[in-house]
Structure 1
């Protein structure tokens, strides 16, 4: 089974489908050694066997110098057709038929002959021509097949080629052939593959170490799994730190390295000793080691290193670990000493290389490294600080000191966005962390990681235990652990824990002096516990104190907590401004781990304010940041927000696609809040599509069973009331509205009160009372709030007026609603407002052609990407959609703008 290659399989299947329909198509599958090029090709050959005649060959290193060798094997089954080609083309392919070609034909003639022969072979039905390891073909064969692949034509000919990216000549030859690059497997696919390989589920720690070492390479993962010892499987022996000696991948890298001249080998080993070297540093170190920096080009052509601007690095982590493991101790020490000698302007890296060349624990070197790592942390260079702490730990003799430095390495790895590395370092620290204090510090970090990329329900227990261990020595950190524990309970859906956790934190805070940071956290826990308990009047004081304290405190976490406090108080614009500050702090201080969290808070505030385009952009950034950091729970939060944003704007396909993905992740990890957001989104979509019965059923589950859930149940109450009134089933709406009303009355801003008035208007039995509530709701909306919610209130008011046989009064409200919906990009709602206008006697707008600014924000983004030349597949990857969904949107864009092609669309945007 090919794990994690669903997108790639779909691309290849799409290529073959075009050929089945009678058109030619070609695809080059490009990937590093071991990424599964051959496995993907073989899988597709099996699926194509019933409908294609296949012609194929594989490149062999031993035949690279033999002209026509690849064509001879590939075309031999159809060689009898060569005689039917025009004489010049037949002569060009004489070597394929076992005859001499004199004089040898030129590349153009050979290419046209191969193209003609392959297209003629389709007379009997679709033909699949495949070439594995095209980079190992002889030059004549490669150029001829690439020539044919660039000319698919209108005959049912499919050409699939696989190639490695390391040879520039190959990439030049395949230029112009559509390509599919195989990247590394994701963690989930790698774990599924590992389970298959071992026949049983390995321990979590061992699996994580293997996945980290394999760096997403399927062959590396299979070789590591095959080489595990029983003790490693049982967890009593340490996991491997490099590919096994007999590994094919390691042998490949070893052969490449061994084939290089001595100077080039020195250059490669220097690059393997440092993650990223500047060209100038490499040149000086190579000269000091007795080498010649001019050997860099020879080393680069080997595919073992790459030059990126002014820096040099190994092509992937497996190359680095393999070459470093194969180098002798003498070679490694010499390389580290050479680098230490020339890095006089970078104290941290110089100390690291000096430490690497030390043969035994050295207290002076250890202290030097620790000082440099601490300085790097203070300047926000967490990615640089983490390996320095790790080396300092290796040079530390006592267990406690080693644990402290491993924990510091794990913390900086986490803050730098390297979640897997942080987990690995925490596991390494576990045997040395013997005191309650060290176990508490370890639990604090482990709980944060589990909150963002694990099971939030487990994170609660881990963090509460950490707080208990830290209460006696680190009160501020103990309260911090409880802050994260309360959030974890919220994400897991247990908001009742807020009060219990807040009481524990208050008990810790009573002992000894409080810092402003501790005061802010305690006030936040107190205020949010009251909020989640529905005691909104009681929450006002503590939440106001959070806002006051946050004015003088800096940092991403302080501003994020203050933003949530402002949101709970109904001060949405202040909440947005504080969330913006939190995002800026995370960026400026290099705390990549905090950025997805800060962005989620910002997106929430923008969504509530009706700033849908801004919220979508923020959540797309947050989704990418969370995935880059390995925070799947954070990614689910952003995908849930994107689902809700698509739904409120009436983007059916996008909302449903995203909701399915969120629900699957939430079910697997116990993420109640993202699942609730997805359900809320689908309820909003039901309303936009005028299906109130389905919407009421979804929303009643949110607002009815969890009335204290501020972020879903309470916020969704206005939607529930609307759905219930429209379908004539008002059961439970009074209780839900009462909970919402308590929050609205305690709110400082008019937005919540406006929604409460709208709900009363909808529930009003007589028209006079409804008109009074609608009028008040509109007044409050205009004082400050969301343009989208104002539009919905105008729409509902106009709708009621029309049904009360007052069409003239209704038209003004419905007209305003339609314009506001169009401004917000809520296409379905705008269509519904237009339909109500027609029913109220308003004639249709003249002119069929719509302007580009009438598109929804989502449609505008897709249209702009198309205008910039992006393909559907590239747009899908960027916007987290499927290519089919992009195609659906593009058809709607064409209809809305009155255009018939991508070319016409491009002209509209110029």
Structure 2
């Protein structure tokens, strides 16, 4: 069976020390759990298998699923680093198990690394497989940590098998994928006949098979809903319903036939997420349920009572829970709350108390609010939102309820649950609110609008909300006005002319800040730059950037996320840009603020682009697109189109640019248009189509937008000089001098200025001096793309001056660097120039082949053997999208354009590695 072989391959790989991930999807009852059980059975005692199953009613309780898979490994907790052990103990409410260890504000990253370390230690002794079924129902906090670990277990003897009904739910885990379909009709008919044990009327049989759609569980369970006589005679077939509801109804019918005590025992077992048997029996004693009640319950075949209480299928558990009355469910939760230790597990106890409440209860609501604080401290924005929402609905005081609803809405927004946040704001608006709460409602609505659209209308909503907040909350007003300014930058050329002056006027009436924070300095600098020019703002921006690079990631505020990166670019500080982008991405991941991830990922990717790491940049961009699609927010196409341009992928640039331009024009997001114009200019300059590069970047060059001063002028000037419009280039160089006036100590700024001055110089000695200065300055930076471009331009200038020998040296250095980076169009341009100068370039495929990473080489070999991306992903335990991202880098490095060329290119690269290069 192919499906079983796929699972066994993962198990075999883990046993051999190659960790892997397998994501199994398929409708309820299709056989996902059975498939994994069969694989477990075949491996016997060779692997340590730890399983857990998600359940609908525990999804709001953070880290439930994670605790279940980690619990058997906690024997190694004491051997972990202190920060990791503390993060795990806090997440699982084990703080008392580690007396004397200080509490710290651990975030998502610390917990993720701690879980990874815990798993690795256990796997070093015996290979470990975590099996997580019904992932669509596990809590968000557990899902994020498991996905984090999944991407980092390739070098361990550990594996993760995740199963869910939908492919989308499993996308974040990566790894190989397996989609289970229903049984073919012949096999379905055989299974149904065996389940009934009696010959069936063919018409009845075929109808049941058709309604079951090949689902094995339906074929086994549906006959119990109809008498044998009905089946044989053609009567009693149930009406068509969605399959899960049909199965749950059948499970419910069987459970309803139980004695009352047994039925209540099943409900109680279903209500407790952990399935902890000892806890269950304590709760049954409180409810007066005799132990003998379990015998009748087990006789249904739907539940078993051992060391852990297990239901045959999650739908059986759902049936047991929903089959009781509201009063019975409340009684079950109350009994469970009574027997849970409030010190050891306060969050789970509070969750049961909330489920047991019959009406508003401030004591329970306050405890839930404290749960939210604990969840937030652990990086659980999603869990905090759930607790706050529950707390609000149990709060008796209307004004306090409105405050908790607003806090829940803010947490939902941070977690990326926009529809839920919108609904909570509408609910809060129905309660009486004070002036600050009214202002906060308006602010949250404006923020959600800008998250979804990033257009001028959303900008004006932010601006208006900030102006209204001035009179009631200076701190909130200052924060929102800053966001409005960030929105002005985003909207760019489509912005309202008076937006800047309105922000300035509203900010001017706010009380001064006695000790400016990094955020205060950042916005003071950016606003000064907007009003008075770059030179006037340099000192303040430099102080802001220094603060951001000195502060730990945990101190970063999400409100100024991308503008802090923009400030580093305004200071021409590539090292600070990389550091701030890295730290802000870490801060976003730690906080669980999913809605901010697309922007954070994009800026970190851009830092990789500047350093010529296109494959790594593409990986982050792909993640950004996936998250934006999940959130329903506009995709961040800024870096995607830039990567394609640097790689010289004309088709990709035009495709991305067309979609992004149409989208940006409709939404009026001017900054995106500038990014597209810059990327197209990069591509066109690489192709040597200078006039088109000049034309496409002309407007962006004149706009002189924040964070584009480091890139756009160079493209416009190179295009203008190449097109013979030196007059336009000279004017642009003058503007560039003004832009770098406050950054004379930065090699990036002065290197670009020297290069551009060399291009327009009419004196040969001055031009050469400027080129050499530019090469020297870029050599002191990490900006490998800029260094290679400068060497190319210098070599071209030397060749046109008739100095072929030094031209060959510069052009060969440019060609080799650009080829190694994967900058396809520029590498081809350098190759043409080197050949014209009388040089013989090394074969790009051979030269670059040696620079393939180990994983790129594995991908190349598998694909060269004829595998599709999906097949390669299955063999290498990667996702198909990751394989495609690697292929883009491989194609650029090997200088090929199709999969058919890979085998020969790899052979040439291997042959060249064995022959000394005589050039």
Does 2:256 align with 1:254?
Answer: no
2:716 is aligned to: 720
Residues 149-172 of structure 1: per-residue CA shift (max 9 Å, x gap): xxxxxxxxxxxxx644867999xx
Q: In the alignment, which residue of structure 2 is the partner of 1:389?
A: 388
Map of 1:540 onto structure 2? 538
SS in 2 for 1:898: helix
- Count of matched residue positions in the alignment of Structure 1 and Structure 2: 693
Q: Is 1:849–1:896's contact at 8 Å kept on the other side of the alignment?
A: no
Give the whole-Å Cα distance in 2 for the aligned partners of 1:812 and 1:652: 29
Task: State the alpha-carbon separation in 2 of the partners of residues 595 and 280 from structure 1.
Answer: 40
Question: Aligned residue for 1:686?
Answer: 684
For 1:662, which of 660, 663, 673 is the aligned residue? 660
Question: Which residue matches 2:799?
Answer: 802
TM-score, normalised to structure 1, is 0.65
Correspondence 1:480 to 2:483: no
2:699 is aligned with 1:701: yes
Cα distance, 1:472–1:811 mapped onto 2, change above 3 Å: same
Q: 1:846 to 1:713 in 2, by over 3 A?
A: closer
Aligned pair 1:604/2:606, yes or no? yes
- Give a deviation string over 1:367-411, Cα, whole Å, max 9, x none: 333333334334433333222222221122332111101111122
Cα shift at 1:544? 2.7
Deviation of residue 451 (structure 1)?
2.6
- Secondary structure of 2:360's counterpart equals coil
2:901 matched residue in structure 1: 895
2:742 aligned partner: 746
Q: 1:683 to 1:295 in 2, by over 3 A?
A: farther
SS, match of residue 594 in structure 2: coil
Aligned to 1:530: 528
Q: 1:559: how far off?
A: 7.5
Asked if 2 retains the 8 angstrom alpha-carbon contact of 1:750 and 1:785, the reply is no
1:276-287, aligned counterparts within 5 Å?
277=274
**What is the CA-CA distance between 1:535 and the residue it aligns to?**
0.2
Contact 1:406 1:426 in 2 (8 A): yes
Deviation at 1:71, TM superposition (A): 13
C-alpha distance after superposition, 1:19-46 (max 9, x if no partner): xxxxxxxxx99445999x9xxxxxxxxx
Cα offset, 1:506, TM superposition: 3.3
d(CA) in 1 for partners of 2:858 and 2:684? 24
How far 1:880 moved relative to its partner? Answer: 9.8
State which drifts further: 879-888 or 322-331. 879-888
Query: For structure 1, which segment, 857-866 or 566-575, has the greater mean C-alpha deviation from structure 2 after superposition?
Result: 857-866
- Runs of 5+ consecutive residues of structure 1 not aligned to the other structure: 1-27, 38-54, 75-95, 97-130, 138-161, 171-244
The answer on whether the counterparts of 2:621 and 2:639 sit within 8 Å (CA) in structure 1 is yes
| Cα offset, 1:438, TM superposition | 0.7
**Do the aligned partners of 2:618 and 2:643 also contact (CA within 8 Å) in 1?**
yes
- Given candidates 585, 588, 601, the residue that maps to 1:586 is 588
Distance 2:435 2:719 in 1: 53
Q: Counterpart of 2:840?
A: 843
Secondary structure at 2:595 match in 1: coil
1:778 to 772, 775, 778: 775
Q: Which residue of 2 aligns with 1:466?
A: 465
Q: Secondary structure of 1:843's match?
A: coil
Instruction: State the secondary structure of the residue aligned to 1:841.
Output: coil
Contact 1:563 1:578 in 2 (8 A): yes
Q: Paired residue for 1:228?
A: none
Contact in 2 for aligned 1:753/1:780 (Cα 8 Å) = yes
Equivalences for 1:481-520 in 2 at 5 Å? 481-493=480-492, 494=494, 499-500=500-501, 502-504=503-505, 506-509=507-510, 511=511, 514=514, 516-517=516-517, 520=518
Distance in 2 (CA, whole Å) between partners of 1:474 and 1:300 is 61
Aligned counterpart, 2:424: 425
Contact 2:372–2:388 (Cα < 8 Å) also in 1: yes
Q: By how many angstroms is 1:441 displaced?
A: 1.5
Contact residue 383 and residue 413 of structure 1 kept, 8 A: yes
Aligned partners of 1:643 and 1:654 also within 8 Å: yes
Query: What's the counterpart of residue 100 of structure 1?
Result: none
Q: Secondary structure of 1:711's match?
A: coil
User: CA–CA distance in 2 between the matches of 1:825 and 1:801?
Assistant: 24
Unaligned runs of 5+ in 2: 1-23, 31-135, 137-164, 166-183, 222-239, 915-919
Q: Is the 8 A contact 2:709 2:739 kept in 1?
A: no
Deviation, structure 1 residue 285: 7.7
Can you list the C-alpha shifts for 1:208-251, whole angstroms capped at 9, x where unaligned?
Answer: xxxxxxxxxxxxxxxxxxxxxxxxxxxxxxxxxxxxx9988645
Q: What's the CA shift for 1:573?
A: 0.3
Matched, 1:711 2:714: no
- CA shift for structure 1 position 850: 5.3
| Alignment correspondent of 1:827 | 824
Shift of 1:569: 0.9
Distance in 2 separating the partners of 1:70 and 1:294 = 35
What is the alpha-carbon distance in structure 2 between the residues aligned to residue 255 and residue 662 of structure 1?
50
Q: For residues 582 and 296 of structure 1, what CA distance do their matches in structure 2 show? A: 56
Taking only aligned residues, the RMSD between alpha carbons, in angstroms, comes to 5.0
Partner of 2:364: 365
- Map Cα deviations across residues 438-457 of structure 1 (whole Å, 9 max, x no partner): 12212333333333333442
Partners in 2 of 1:734 and 1:70 — Cα distance? 89
Distance change >3 Å, CA 485–CA 878, structure 1 → 2:
same
SS at match of 1:524: helix
Structure showing greater relative contact order (alpha-carbon pairs closer than 8 Å, 6 or more residues apart): 2
Shift of 1:813: 0.7
Structure 1 residues 456 and 864: alpha-carbon distance in aligned structure 2, compared to 1, 3 A threshold:
farther
Give the superposition deviation at 1:900.
8.6
- Judge conservation of contact 1:750–1:783 (CA < 8 Å) in 2: yes
Q: Is the 8 A contact 1:463 1:482 kept in 2?
A: yes
Mapped partners of 1:165, 1:693: distance in 2? 65
SS in 1 for 2:688: coil
Distance 1:70 1:850 in 2: 69
Structure 1 residues 544 and 767, CA gap change in structure 2 (3 angstroms): closer
Matches within 5 A, 1:137-216: 163-164=214-215
Structure 1 pair 813/597, CA: closer, same or farther in 2 (3 Å)? same
Question: Residues 856, 360 of structure 1: CA spacing in aligned structure 2 closer, same or farther, 3 A cutoff?
Answer: closer
Is residue 2:860 matched to residue 1:863? yes
Equivalent residue of 2:586, what SS? helix
The separation in 2 between residues aligned to 1:450 and 1:735, in whole angstroms, is 40
Task: State the Cα distance separating 1:469 from its structure 2 match.
Answer: 3.3
Deviation string 1:53-109 (CA, Å, 9 cap, x unpaired) is: xx98996898674799999899xxxxxxxxxxxxxxxxxxxxx9xxxxxxxxxxxxx
Say if 1:481 and 1:315 are closer, same or farther in 2 by CA, change over 3 A: farther
| Residue of structure 1 in register with 2:18 after alignment | none
Greater CA drift, 288-297 or 806-815: 288-297
| Residues 425 and 441, structure 2, Cα contact 8 Å, conserved in 1 | yes
Aligned-partner Cα distance in 1 for 2:220–2:313: 18
Deviation at 1:335, TM superposition (A): 3.1
Work out the CA distance in 2 between the residues paired with 1:542 and 1:314.
Answer: 64
Which position in structure 2 is the counterpart of 1:142? none
Other-structure match for 2:154 = none
SS at match of 1:464: helix
Checking the alignment, whether the CA contact within 8 Å between 2:409 and 2:420 is kept in structure 1 is yes
Return the offset for 1:815.
0.7
Q: Distance in 1 between matches of 2:293 and 2:861?
A: 46
Q: Distance in 2 between matches of 1:395 and 1:838?
A: 77
Deviation, structure 1 residue 792: 0.8
Partner of 1:632: helix, strand, or coil?
Answer: coil
